[in-house]
Amino acid sequence: MTSRRPLRSAAAALGFVAIATAVHAKDTGMAFVSSEKDNALAVIDVKTLAIVGMIPTCKRPRHMQFLPDGSALMVACGDSNRADLIDVAARKVVGNIPLGDDPEAFDISPDGKFAYVSNEEDGALNIVDLAAKKVTKSIPVGKEPEGVKASPDGSRVYVTSEVANMVHVIDPAAGKVVKNIQVGKRPRRFALTADGAELWVTSELGASVSIISTGDLSVVQTINFEVKGMRPDDITPVGLTLSRDGKTMFVALGRASHVAFVDVASRKTTKLVLVGKRAWNVTLNRDGSRLFVANGLSDDVTVIDVAQAKAIKTIPVGRVPYMVVVDD
């Protein structure tokens, strides 16, 4: 940023720029990192793996996701009770959406109309109408909801409660919890398998991943992790994501400072890659060759070469990095 003017004009435009009119984003060749104590996103050039800029945003940015039409990056801010919409090409905030108290994570409905937001403070899943920019429903769930995942057909929303140790299955149309599934302690994040038959959920204090059958909504298996030289109590899985070929699940093991490569078919950990402290959320680039890991306690992002299962670079970013979104 060369002067303060562009910032001010961006601020003046807040609320007036409709989502659909902001057409940039995608193919910027950049990765964006939210850090809880920065109120800004760090911009990483995916080719050089260097920080090339910062985008000021709302307070305590955490979960980020592109809108389905790619028009903007939606960033949920816990301390601002809203999401900012960011034009990643212009690196500017172009709008915002109220999300309710202390939003942490969210997912967007497959039709792009709604955001499903976990609100830590209220113990609720809020349904936000993205066009109207309004919370339309608030569904009480167990305390401290966190991970949110919409099913690909839009009929269900899954949300974890860190206190209730449950996955709540919600019918978003009816605005109701249809099932509570008991999983390991402090459940955090979700990933679906390629065929959509399994929902994997990490348990931070269970040191495990619970696999839920999306057919009968029961836990079919629990994967426990072991890292040589680490006590079970040091293994605190949080983020996870599926490889592009659908064969491997990448699971960040938190304080164990490793990412586990888990073979989806056999449920076996095939590789462990050493990363920074408290490996949190993990994100792939578009072709799936590189994995970006946000390290919450070492204030950096580790980039893993997936084929070699090796960390190739660790990049200092902001304070308490939470998540990376790659737009290469």
The distance of closest approach from Cβ of residue 268 to another protein in the complex, given in angstroms and rounded to an integer, is: 23
Nearer to another protein, 87 or 204 (CB): 204
Nearer to another protein, 205 or 274 (CB): 205
Does residue 157 interact with another protein by CB under 8 A? no
Does residue 163 interact with another protein by CB under 8 A? yes
Does residue 162 interact with another protein by CB under 8 A? yes
Nearer to another protein, 165 or 285 (CB): 165
Question: Of 50-58, 61-69, 172-180, 245-253, which part binds another protein (CB under 8 A)?
Answer: 172-180
- Interface residues for another protein in 252-281 (CB under 8 A)? 255
Does residue 179 interact with another protein by CB under 8 A? yes
Dihedral sign computed on CA atoms, order 135, 136, 142, 147: negative
- Interface residues for another protein in 103-142 (CB under 8 A)? 120-121, 123, 139-142
Closest to 166 (Cα-Cα) out of 151, 187, 147, 148? 187
Q: How many CB atoms lie within 10 A of CB 314?
A: 16
Token readout for 62 is 């955490």
| Phi, then psi, of 58 in degrees rounded to 5 | -70, 180
# residues near another protein by CB under 8 A: 27
Token readout for 14 is 């807040």
Q: How many CB atoms lie within 10 A of CB 131?
A: 12
Cα 91 to Cα 6: distance, rounded to the nearest angstrom? 11
Does residue 202 interact with another protein by CB under 8 A? no
Does residue 233 interact with another protein by CB under 8 A? yes
- Greatest C-alpha distance within the chain: 57
Token readout for 90 is 């212009």
Given the rule CB under 8 A, which residues bind another protein? 120-121, 123, 139-144, 161-166, 176-180, 185-186, 205, 231, 233, 236, 255
